[in-house]
Amino acid sequence: MNATNHYDAIVIGAGPAGLTAGIYLSRAKLRTLIVNEGTVGGQMVLTHEIANYPGVESISGYQLANTMKKQAKSFGCDIRANVVISGLELAGETKGLTLSDGSSYTSDSVILATGGRSRTLGVPGEDTFKGRGISYCATCDGDFFTDKEIIVLGGGNSALEEAVSLTRYASKVHIVHQFDHFQAFEHAVEEARNNPKIDFTMESSITAFYGNDKLESVDIKNLRTGETSRFSTDGVFIFIGYIPNTELLKGKVKLNQWGEIQVNPDMSTNIEGVYAAGDCIAKRFRQVATAVGDGTVAALSASAYLHNLKTKKQLIPA
């Protein structure tokens, strides 16, 4: 084992969950490496303004990510960004990681913090107006649409529950759904139906987004008749599913039917020495604050595991 490539902990993912884990682990003097597929910061760097992270009234996602990165590095945490993991070995006491550039690392523990992504609609204009009228998170962006008329796309529990929560802000919420029935619990459907601020356009979908600096209108196609009409709107919230970034982990750690990592309250997985945190785990609420909380718990649990492991090794005569 090459000592310079061996770490106490390797964290996969440098969003708020992974960066927090890196801060706690390296501050506890544990040799820590964070590896990240893209830019450091995860979904935070896609966020123009974060207004609900406690202790900072309003901050750009990029700035918050950069502060967390600096904090981790100041405690000695190594970070390798824009890398691709080509091999991962989680079973066994020593964990192994190989990158596509050929470098390889080992560790005594691993924290999985790979986050996730909202399912996108994939129609013209969606990429252009993301964060400029199109949102995938009511808790994050609802307040920006106070007294505005908005559209919610989707017909599952998330779509209906978030549509109801958005009526706290918006003057009108139009739910657009592709089928003639909803795939949500009856109580969620009832609550939406009984809300006077909500109306429904069934068997329909959005086929294009238009605007200049920000979203101004959408094309809605009636999927039964094939007819398309253009509607003005201030915002569209898309709730058509969530995809955890766990493709790499299939067969290596226990995932549920939706591909989310199953964890215990201490963030341990079914594999000894492997913990998980943030949006990639099975949970209901996905926010920066919850990711930071999960990352803290995972790091403290991993620290305790590493302490026990070292004590055990010292007790075994060479």
Ligand X SMILES: Cc1cc2nc3c(=O)[nH]c(=O)nc-3n(C[C@H](O)[C@H](O)[C@H](O)COP(=O)(O)OP(=O)(O)OC[C@H]3O[C@@H](n4cnc5c(N)ncnc54)[C@H](O)[C@@H]3O)c2cc1C
The site for ligand X (CB under 6 A) is made up of 12-18, 35-38, 42-44, 46-47, 50, 52-53, 85, 113-116, 131, 136-137, 140, 245, 248, 278-279, 286-289, 291
Helices 16-27 and 288-315, interaxial angle, to 10°? Answer: 40
Residue 13 vs 273, nearer CB to ligand X? 13
Residue 50 vs 164, nearer CB to ligand X? 50
d(CA 48, CA 69): 18
Both tokens of residue 217? 């209108």
Min dist CB 265 to ligand X, Å, is: 17
Residue 175 vs 280, nearer CB to ligand X? 280
Q: Report CA-CA distances (Å) from 266 to 16, 185, 250, 295, 303.
A: 18, 30, 21, 10, 12
Q: Report CA-CA distances (Å) from 178 to 183, 243, 306.
A: 11, 20, 50
Min dist CB 291 to ligand X, Å, is: 3
Amino acid of residue 191: E
Min dist CB 295 to ligand X, Å, is: 7
Q: Which of 85, 90, 79, 81 is nearest to 100 (CA)?
A: 85
Residue 45 vs 123, nearer CB to ligand X? 45
Residue 18 vs 182, nearer CB to ligand X? 18
Both tokens of residue 151? 């559209």
